[in-house]
Structure 1
Protein backbone atom coordinates (compact mmCIF):
# COMPACT_ATOMS: atom_id res chain seq x y z
CA UNK A 1 0.00 0.00 0.00
CA UNK A 2 2.78 2.41 0.95
CA UNK A 3 4.65 1.58 -2.24
CA UNK A 4 1.69 2.43 -4.52
CA UNK A 5 1.04 5.60 -2.51
CA UNK A 6 4.62 6.85 -2.99
CA UNK A 7 4.64 5.80 -6.65
CA UNK A 8 1.39 7.67 -7.41
CA UNK A 9 2.62 10.71 -5.47
CA UNK A 10 5.86 10.70 -7.48
CA UNK A 11 3.99 10.44 -10.77
CA UNK A 12 1.66 13.31 -9.81
CA UNK A 13 4.62 15.51 -8.81
CA UNK A 14 6.39 14.75 -12.08
CA UNK A 15 3.27 15.63 -14.08
CA UNK A 16 2.74 18.87 -12.16
CA UNK A 17 6.39 19.81 -12.50
CA UNK A 18 6.18 19.56 -16.29
CA UNK A 19 3.40 22.14 -16.50
CA UNK A 20 5.53 25.28 -16.05
CA UNK A 21 6.11 27.99 -18.66
CA UNK A 22 9.32 27.37 -20.55
CA UNK A 23 11.44 29.77 -22.53
CA UNK A 24 10.51 28.16 -25.84
CA UNK A 25 6.87 27.54 -25.05
CA UNK A 26 4.37 28.64 -27.68
CA UNK A 27 1.96 29.54 -24.88
CA UNK A 28 4.13 32.17 -23.22
CA UNK A 29 6.32 35.05 -24.27
CA UNK A 30 9.19 36.91 -22.69
CA UNK A 31 9.37 40.68 -22.71
CA UNK A 32 10.62 43.44 -20.39
CA UNK A 33 8.21 42.40 -17.66
CA UNK A 34 9.30 38.74 -17.63
CA UNK A 35 7.44 35.66 -18.80
CA UNK A 36 3.77 36.25 -19.55
CA UNK A 37 1.18 33.82 -20.73
CA UNK A 38 -0.37 34.69 -24.07
CA UNK A 39 -3.96 35.91 -23.80
CA UNK A 40 -6.34 38.11 -25.71
CA UNK A 41 -5.93 41.11 -23.42
CA UNK A 42 -4.22 43.98 -25.17
CA UNK A 43 -2.45 45.98 -22.50
CA UNK A 44 -0.19 48.89 -23.29
CA UNK A 45 -0.97 48.99 -27.01
CA UNK A 46 -3.04 51.43 -29.00
CA UNK A 47 -4.90 50.42 -32.10
CA UNK A 48 -3.09 53.21 -33.94
CA UNK A 49 0.19 51.38 -33.33
CA UNK A 50 -0.96 48.28 -35.16
CA UNK A 51 -0.25 48.15 -38.89
CA UNK A 52 -3.30 48.27 -41.09
CA UNK A 53 -3.52 44.99 -42.94
CA UNK A 54 -6.04 43.80 -45.45
CA UNK A 55 -8.39 41.26 -44.02
CA UNK A 56 -8.99 37.96 -45.70
CA UNK A 57 -12.46 39.01 -46.83
CA UNK A 58 -11.03 41.92 -48.82
CA UNK A 59 -8.57 39.70 -50.67
CA UNK A 60 -11.00 37.32 -52.37
CA UNK A 61 -14.21 38.70 -53.89
CA UNK A 62 -15.98 35.37 -53.39
CA UNK A 63 -15.71 35.57 -49.59
CA UNK A 64 -18.47 37.24 -47.63
CA UNK A 65 -17.39 40.76 -46.69
CA UNK A 66 -17.76 41.17 -42.93
CA UNK A 67 -16.62 44.77 -42.71
CA UNK A 68 -18.93 47.53 -41.48
CA UNK A 69 -19.48 48.93 -44.96
CA UNK A 70 -20.26 45.56 -46.49
CA UNK A 71 -22.40 45.42 -49.60
CA UNK A 72 -25.97 44.28 -49.18
CA UNK A 73 -28.16 42.51 -51.68
CA UNK A 74 -29.65 45.87 -52.65
CA UNK A 75 -26.27 47.38 -53.44
CA UNK A 76 -25.36 44.33 -55.53
CA UNK A 77 -28.60 44.65 -57.50
CA UNK A 78 -27.86 48.35 -58.00
CA UNK A 79 -24.33 47.48 -59.15
CA UNK A 80 -25.72 45.02 -61.72
CA UNK A 81 -28.21 47.60 -63.03
CA UNK A 82 -25.50 50.26 -63.16
CA UNK A 83 -23.17 47.92 -65.07
CA UNK A 84 -25.88 47.13 -67.62
CA UNK A 85 -26.78 50.81 -68.06
CA UNK A 86 -23.19 52.03 -68.49
CA UNK A 87 -21.52 49.21 -70.41
CA UNK A 88 -24.26 47.77 -72.61
CA UNK A 89 -26.92 49.11 -74.98
CA UNK A 90 -29.62 47.16 -73.11
CA UNK A 91 -32.19 48.06 -70.49
CA UNK A 92 -32.18 46.11 -67.21
CA UNK A 93 -35.52 44.70 -66.14
CA UNK A 94 -35.46 42.12 -63.34
CA UNK A 95 -32.42 41.43 -61.17
CA UNK A 96 -32.85 38.73 -58.54
CA UNK A 97 -30.36 37.30 -56.07
CA UNK A 98 -30.92 33.88 -54.57
CA UNK A 99 -28.00 32.78 -52.40
CA UNK A 100 -24.91 32.76 -54.58
CA UNK A 101 -26.81 33.10 -57.85
CA UNK A 102 -27.94 36.23 -59.65
CA UNK A 103 -30.70 36.12 -62.26
CA UNK A 104 -30.72 39.05 -64.68
CA UNK A 105 -33.28 39.87 -67.37
CA UNK A 106 -32.49 42.59 -69.91
CA UNK A 107 -34.49 44.00 -72.81
CA UNK A 108 -33.49 45.17 -76.25
CA UNK A 109 -35.38 46.96 -79.00
CA UNK A 110 -33.63 44.99 -81.77
CA UNK A 111 -34.86 41.81 -83.38
CA UNK A 112 -32.16 39.21 -82.77
CA UNK A 113 -31.56 35.78 -84.21
CA UNK A 114 -31.01 32.96 -81.75
CA UNK A 115 -27.26 32.84 -82.51
CA UNK A 116 -26.90 36.61 -82.03
CA UNK A 117 -28.95 36.45 -78.83
CA UNK A 118 -26.72 33.68 -77.43
CA UNK A 119 -23.57 35.67 -78.28
CA UNK A 120 -24.97 38.85 -76.70
CA UNK A 121 -26.05 36.94 -73.57
CA UNK A 122 -22.55 35.46 -73.27
CA UNK A 123 -20.96 38.89 -73.63
CA UNK A 124 -23.35 40.39 -71.08
CA UNK A 125 -22.64 37.45 -68.75
CA UNK A 126 -18.88 38.12 -68.96
CA UNK A 127 -19.40 41.83 -68.27
CA UNK A 128 -21.56 41.16 -65.20
CA UNK A 129 -19.20 38.47 -63.92
CA UNK A 130 -16.30 40.94 -64.01
CA UNK A 131 -18.40 43.48 -62.10
CA UNK A 132 -19.83 41.00 -59.54
CA UNK A 133 -17.53 37.96 -59.34
CA UNK A 134 -19.07 36.57 -56.14
CA UNK A 135 -22.23 35.41 -57.95
CA UNK A 136 -23.00 32.73 -60.49
CA UNK A 137 -24.87 34.89 -62.99
CA UNK A 138 -27.69 33.78 -65.29
CA UNK A 139 -28.61 36.21 -68.08
CA UNK A 140 -31.74 36.27 -70.21
CA UNK A 141 -32.00 38.71 -73.12
CA UNK A 142 -35.56 39.46 -74.26
CA UNK A 143 -36.99 41.58 -77.05
CA UNK A 144 -39.52 44.27 -76.22
Structure 2
Protein backbone atom coordinates (compact mmCIF):
# COMPACT_ATOMS: atom_id res chain seq x y z
CA UNK A 1 0.00 0.00 0.00
CA UNK A 2 2.82 2.32 0.86
CA UNK A 3 4.51 1.70 -2.48
CA UNK A 4 1.31 2.49 -4.41
CA UNK A 5 0.84 5.76 -2.52
CA UNK A 6 4.44 6.83 -3.20
CA UNK A 7 4.03 5.82 -6.86
CA UNK A 8 0.92 8.05 -7.29
CA UNK A 9 2.56 10.92 -5.40
CA UNK A 10 5.63 10.70 -7.62
CA UNK A 11 3.57 10.90 -10.82
CA UNK A 12 1.41 13.72 -9.44
CA UNK A 13 4.51 15.83 -8.71
CA UNK A 14 6.09 14.92 -12.04
CA UNK A 15 2.90 15.71 -13.96
CA UNK A 16 2.27 19.03 -12.26
CA UNK A 17 5.81 20.21 -12.91
CA UNK A 18 5.64 19.46 -16.62
CA UNK A 19 2.25 21.09 -17.07
CA UNK A 20 3.52 24.55 -16.17
CA UNK A 21 5.84 24.76 -19.14
CA UNK A 22 2.99 24.24 -21.58
CA UNK A 23 0.90 27.17 -20.28
CA UNK A 24 0.77 30.08 -22.69
CA UNK A 25 0.71 33.66 -21.54
CA UNK A 26 -0.60 36.64 -23.45
CA UNK A 27 2.46 38.56 -22.27
CA UNK A 28 4.76 36.22 -24.19
CA UNK A 29 2.97 36.78 -27.50
CA UNK A 30 3.13 39.55 -30.07
CA UNK A 31 -0.38 38.78 -31.33
CA UNK A 32 -3.77 38.75 -29.69
CA UNK A 33 -6.27 35.88 -30.11
CA UNK A 34 -7.53 37.23 -33.44
CA UNK A 35 -4.01 37.28 -34.88
CA UNK A 36 -3.58 41.06 -34.83
CA UNK A 37 -0.07 42.25 -34.06
CA UNK A 38 -0.42 44.13 -30.75
CA UNK A 39 2.86 46.02 -31.14
CA UNK A 40 1.93 47.68 -34.43
CA UNK A 41 -0.59 50.37 -35.23
CA UNK A 42 -2.54 50.68 -38.48
CA UNK A 43 0.36 52.41 -40.25
CA UNK A 44 2.65 49.42 -39.68
CA UNK A 45 5.10 51.22 -37.38
CA UNK A 46 6.14 49.26 -34.33
CA UNK A 47 4.96 51.08 -31.20
CA UNK A 48 5.77 49.01 -28.11
CA UNK A 49 5.60 50.55 -24.66
CA UNK A 50 8.36 53.06 -25.28
CA UNK A 51 9.00 55.89 -22.87
CA UNK A 52 6.11 55.76 -20.45
CA UNK A 53 7.11 58.72 -18.29
CA UNK A 54 6.33 61.22 -21.09
CA UNK A 55 9.42 63.29 -20.35
CA UNK A 56 8.61 63.76 -16.67
CA UNK A 57 11.38 63.47 -14.12
CA UNK A 58 10.96 61.97 -10.67
CA UNK A 59 10.71 65.44 -9.10
CA UNK A 60 7.70 66.20 -11.33
CA UNK A 61 5.99 62.99 -10.34
CA UNK A 62 6.77 63.12 -6.61
CA UNK A 63 6.99 66.56 -4.99
CA UNK A 64 8.75 65.11 -1.93
CA UNK A 65 11.93 64.36 -3.89
CA UNK A 66 14.62 67.00 -4.22
CA UNK A 67 15.18 68.65 -7.58
CA UNK A 68 18.68 67.54 -8.56
CA UNK A 69 18.66 68.27 -12.28
CA UNK A 70 19.20 72.07 -11.83
CA UNK A 71 16.37 73.10 -14.11
CA UNK A 72 14.16 76.09 -13.41
CA UNK A 73 11.12 74.37 -12.00
CA UNK A 74 8.75 75.40 -9.31
CA UNK A 75 10.04 74.70 -5.82
CA UNK A 76 8.97 75.45 -2.29
CA UNK A 77 11.91 77.80 -1.82
CA UNK A 78 10.42 80.05 -4.52
CA UNK A 79 7.15 80.19 -2.57
CA UNK A 80 8.95 80.97 0.68
CA UNK A 81 10.90 83.77 -1.02
CA UNK A 82 7.69 85.21 -2.48
CA UNK A 83 6.08 85.16 0.98
CA UNK A 84 9.11 86.98 2.42
CA UNK A 85 8.85 89.60 -0.33
CA UNK A 86 5.14 90.14 0.36
CA UNK A 87 5.79 90.55 4.11
CA UNK A 88 8.66 92.98 3.49
CA UNK A 89 6.56 95.01 1.01
CA UNK A 90 3.81 95.31 3.65
CA UNK A 91 6.35 96.92 6.01
CA UNK A 92 6.90 94.01 8.39
CA UNK A 93 9.93 91.88 9.16
CA UNK A 94 9.58 88.26 7.96
CA UNK A 95 10.19 85.50 10.48
CA UNK A 96 10.02 81.76 10.01
CA UNK A 97 8.03 80.45 7.05
CA UNK A 98 7.34 76.78 6.58
CA UNK A 99 5.15 74.73 4.29
CA UNK A 100 3.37 71.55 5.28
CA UNK A 101 1.49 70.14 2.29
CA UNK A 102 -1.11 72.73 1.28
CA UNK A 103 -0.64 74.81 4.41
CA UNK A 104 1.82 77.70 4.79
CA UNK A 105 2.63 78.93 8.28
CA UNK A 106 4.10 82.42 8.35
CA UNK A 107 5.57 84.40 11.23
CA UNK A 108 6.03 88.17 10.94
CA UNK A 109 7.54 90.59 13.45
CA UNK A 110 6.32 94.08 14.21
CA UNK A 111 8.71 96.83 15.24
CA UNK A 112 8.40 98.26 18.75
CA UNK A 113 5.46 98.00 21.12
CA UNK A 114 2.09 97.45 19.48
CA UNK A 115 -1.42 97.07 20.76
CA UNK A 116 -3.59 94.02 20.30
CA UNK A 117 -5.68 95.86 17.68
CA UNK A 118 -2.57 96.74 15.65
CA UNK A 119 -1.47 93.12 15.80
CA UNK A 120 -4.88 91.85 14.62
CA UNK A 121 -4.96 94.41 11.80
CA UNK A 122 -1.46 93.40 10.68
CA UNK A 123 -2.51 89.75 10.74
CA UNK A 124 -5.57 90.44 8.55
CA UNK A 125 -3.55 92.53 6.09
CA UNK A 126 -0.83 89.88 5.75
CA UNK A 127 -3.42 87.09 5.53
CA UNK A 128 -5.14 88.81 2.59
CA UNK A 129 -1.93 89.73 0.77
CA UNK A 130 -0.35 86.31 1.16
CA UNK A 131 -3.55 84.55 0.09
CA UNK A 132 -3.63 86.65 -3.08
CA UNK A 133 0.08 86.16 -3.79
CA UNK A 134 0.11 82.41 -3.03
CA UNK A 135 -3.42 81.08 -3.68
CA UNK A 136 -2.37 77.41 -3.65
CA UNK A 137 -1.73 77.49 0.10
CA UNK A 138 -3.97 77.86 3.12
CA UNK A 139 -1.98 80.65 4.78
CA UNK A 140 -1.83 80.97 8.58
CA UNK A 141 -0.20 84.13 9.90
CA UNK A 142 1.34 84.56 13.35
CA UNK A 143 2.39 88.05 14.44
CA UNK A 144 5.15 88.45 17.05
Ranked by relative contact order (alpha carbons within 8 Å, sequence separation 6 or more), the top structure is 1
Higher strand proportion: 1
TM-score by length of structure 2 reads 0.49
